[in-house]
């Protein structure tokens, strides 16, 4: 395929972050004396940014713009200080990034996690990896599945779309790749199931990081 650039989602793709996301969100709920949620529930709450995560965690009657904004602020305050307590790379991911580097394939990150959190996790877990761009949620940039973040990465990298592979674990990721006009690989080790990835139009499904090499 002569892939020159691989764009990775972060949560559920490079890193298993759900433990810290769940703890931080439950801490926010505990501050308010509200019911907390399970690990499994949080797997379905994530994927559309922190604002939607805390909105989904709150009882429906409390999902006013003011309450959601305040909840997001409390979540971010806790999460940024406890961002790597339970988080870890998925098995095989460090080796995959090393192999891509060895082959001269460039890499980038496109996440719906807020920018400061995205940057902190990449610096913490992949300090020796050179990325073309590390982009999270930023003001005035639409969240995925809008393709704006992918378009921005492609402009920075100067890579033709036919030489790009987008890798993610959710339907949102597959929709993003389709909207951007690039190939997609859905990973089955993340937070969502094969059926969601297939329904969202994944070009390929992979069960282990090393299988991505065959798609290059």
CA 127 to chain centre: 18
How does DSSP assign 115-179, residue by residue?
HHHHHHHHHHH-TT---S-EEEE-TTSPPTTSTHHHHHHHHHHT--GGGEEEEESSHHHHHHHHH
Of 134, 25, 136, 37, nearest in space to 86 by CA: 25
Q: Which residues are catalytic?
A: 9
187-196 average pLDDT score: 96
- H or E, element range at 110: strand 106-114
φ and ψ at 166, to 5 degrees? Answer: -105, 130
What is the rounded distance in angstroms from the CA atom of residue 208 to the CA atom of residue 187? 8
**In the structure, what pLDDT confidence band is assigned to residue 47 with cuts at 50, 70 and 90?**
confident
pLDDT of residue 1: 66
Q: What is the mean predicted confidence (pLDDT) over 29-34? A: 97
Percent of the chain with pLDDT over 90: 97
Summarised one tens digit per residue, pLDDT across range 118-157 is: 999 999 999 999 999 999 999 999 999 999 999 999 999 9
Q: Considering the entire predicted model, what is its pTM?
A: 0.94
Least Cα distance to 24 among 66, 57, 61 occurs for: 57
* Complete DSSP assignment for 46-97: -SS-HHHHHHHHS-GGG--HHHHHHHHHHHHHHHHHSTTSS-EEPTTHHHHH
How far is 109 from 53, CA to CA, in rounded Å? 20
- Separation of alpha carbons 198 and 193, rounded Å: 9
Please name the residues in contact with 7: beta carbons below 8 A apart, sequence gap of 6 or more: 107, 108, 109, 110, 150, 153, 164, 165, 166, 167, 182
For all residues of the chain together, what is the average pLDDT? 96
Q: Write down the pLDDT at residue 119.
A: 97
pLDDT mean over 189-215: 97
């Amino acid at each position: 395929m002569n892939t020159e650039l691989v764009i990775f989602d972060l949560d559920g793709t490079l890193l298993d972050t759900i433990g810290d996301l769940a703890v931080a969100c439950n801490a926010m709920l505990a501050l308010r004396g509200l019911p907390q949620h399970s690990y499994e529930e949080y797997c379905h709450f994530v994927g559309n940014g922190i604002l939607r995560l805390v909105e989904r965690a709150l009882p429906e009657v409390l999902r006013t713009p003011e309450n959601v904004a305040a909840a997001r602020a409390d979540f971010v305050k806790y999460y940024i200080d406890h961002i790597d307590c339970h988080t870890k790379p998925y098995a095989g991911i460090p080796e995959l990034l090393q192999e891509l580097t060895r082959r001269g394939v460039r890499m980038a990150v496109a996440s719906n996690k807020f920018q400061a959190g995205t940057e902190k996790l990449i610096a913490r877990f992949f300090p020796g990896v050179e990325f073309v761009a590390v982009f999270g949620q930023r003001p005035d940039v639409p969240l995925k599945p809008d393709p704006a973040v992918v378009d921005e990465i492609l402009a920075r990298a100067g890579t033709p779309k036919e030489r790009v592979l987008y890798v993610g674990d959710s339907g949102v990721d597959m929709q993003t790749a389709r909207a951007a006009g690039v190939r997609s690989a859905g990973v089955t080790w993340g937070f969502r199931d094969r059926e969601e990835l297939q329904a969202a139009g994944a070009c390929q499904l992979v069960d282990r990081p090393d299988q991505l090499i065959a798609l290059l």
